[in-house]
Structure 1
């Protein structure tokens, strides 16, 4: 084999195909033929041919120019490609294909899938939250208690993780009831606590304040205080 010829072939370079497009073209509603056609359009554009004809595209595929024309029409109709005005350095106006709609569709699809995944994870977290409460209470939750849990999430905006933290604080405090847990969440929300990290920092400041304000010889009655929140966070 002529080494110079081989080097010439290799010097023609390659085209970069996003793996996400390769993995999801079917999900976008593209057929294999349409996918390959888009790849050839992309290749032509990288070579500076911004408006390849159906005949030029068909020559690279196993379809006729008329079949290629029909696929281009469908791709335009379905919003995968667009035709834009092109102005060169000599200000000569012409037309060019754009694959921008394809990339936008791909991004939109991936974003929608991400939202679905986040929603699924949230539903799993909420379901896990109900299970944890039933395990701690040792019984199924009542309809009112289920409604309270939903209210904490939907109306008050507490995360399932923070609700579990409040539950554990109630368990450690020996006050396992929804009213006490609601009070913990109320205090956290009033002080802007929305994450475990914030709860940790707030707990440190809370205990530091308690220690600094604690009298050296407190009366016996002063020992009867509510167990401080957040103790478990440092365990």
Structure 2
């Protein structure tokens, strides 16, 4: 067979698109390599229109016997990785991989939740450290509780809380009550991003000072760009 004909034959056979997450996380789904390859073979057969290949057909594509293939299929059904569906026609059956895709989706959602929780814990720890550095001392139990309330009950983002802290630093009012007022006002105004908070803070400070005071302040004190901190 010439190379051109061989290439055309390969193209006629088609290609199998396998989700990367399955190849990456099959071990965490408690699948062995043999079980993974068997699932891929079933997937490939279904794409070619063979929805219920025999144990012999599947084993011929692998390095296991038909008997071993039968055992693996039963195990995968028990593990709810595959299912056998009845078709509309009498006696028509097919393998379904829907249970596998469902388990994979549930696994990825769990991974996402764990990642988000881990990130939230890191952000919260970083937030406490940031406050202690600005205050120059450890936070009191009441202050720690206030921080927890801002995060858990008021649902303020850690970035926004840090922005409110920076506003308190700029205003020279380093206390939790003032920061709480800032967060309350921002939430009332629908401020959710760092850029929105920066612009609102600038407008607020300009409204609190006369034009002459603003001009003198600009000459005496350089602008504190806390967005870059």
- Both proteins in one fold, TM over 0.5: yes
Higher normalized helix content (fraction of residues): 2
Q: 2:219 aligns to what?
A: none
Say if 1:234 and 1:118 are closer, same or farther in 2 by CA, change over 3 A: closer
Size of the aligned set, in residue pairs, is: 217
Taking the TM superposition and a 5 Å limit, the aligned residue runs for 1:127-138 are 127-138=125-136
Taking the TM superposition and a 5 Å limit, the aligned residue runs for 1:7-156 are 7=7, 9-10=9-10, 11-87=12-88, 91=89, 94-156=92-154
Say if 1:77 and 1:107 are closer, same or farther in 2 by CA, change over 3 A: same
Q: 1:223 aligns to what?
A: none
Q: 1:225 aligns to what?
A: none
Q: How many Å separate the matches in 2 of 1:100 and 1:175?
A: 59
Q: Secondary structure at the residue paired with 2:69?
A: helix
Q: How many Å separate the matches in 2 of 1:31 and 1:166?
A: 51
Say if 1:182 and 1:95 are closer, same or farther in 2 by CA, change over 3 A: same
Q: How many Å separate the matches in 2 of 1:99 and 1:3?
A: 35
Q: How many Å separate the matches in 2 of 1:110 and 1:215?
A: 56
Taking the TM superposition and a 5 Å limit, the aligned residue runs for 1:155-166 are 155-166=153-164
- Contiguous gaps of at least 5 residues in structure 2: 213-223
1:192 CA displacement: 2.8
Say if 1:60 and 1:175 are closer, same or farther in 2 by CA, change over 3 A: same
Q: How many Å separate the matches in 2 of 1:205 and 1:40?
A: 64
Q: Secondary structure at the residue paired with 1:101?
A: helix
Q: 2:184 aligns to what?
A: 186
Q: Secondary structure at the residue paired with 2:92?
A: strand
Q: How many Å separate the matches in 2 of 1:103 and 1:114?
A: 16
1:234 CA displacement: 8.4
- Kept after mapping to 1: 8 A contact 2:41/2:61: yes
- Contiguous gaps of at least 5 residues in structure 1: 219-230
- Kept after mapping to 1: 8 A contact 2:166/2:226: no
- Kept after mapping to 2: 8 A contact 1:58/1:68: yes
Which TM-score applies when normalising by structure 2? 0.83
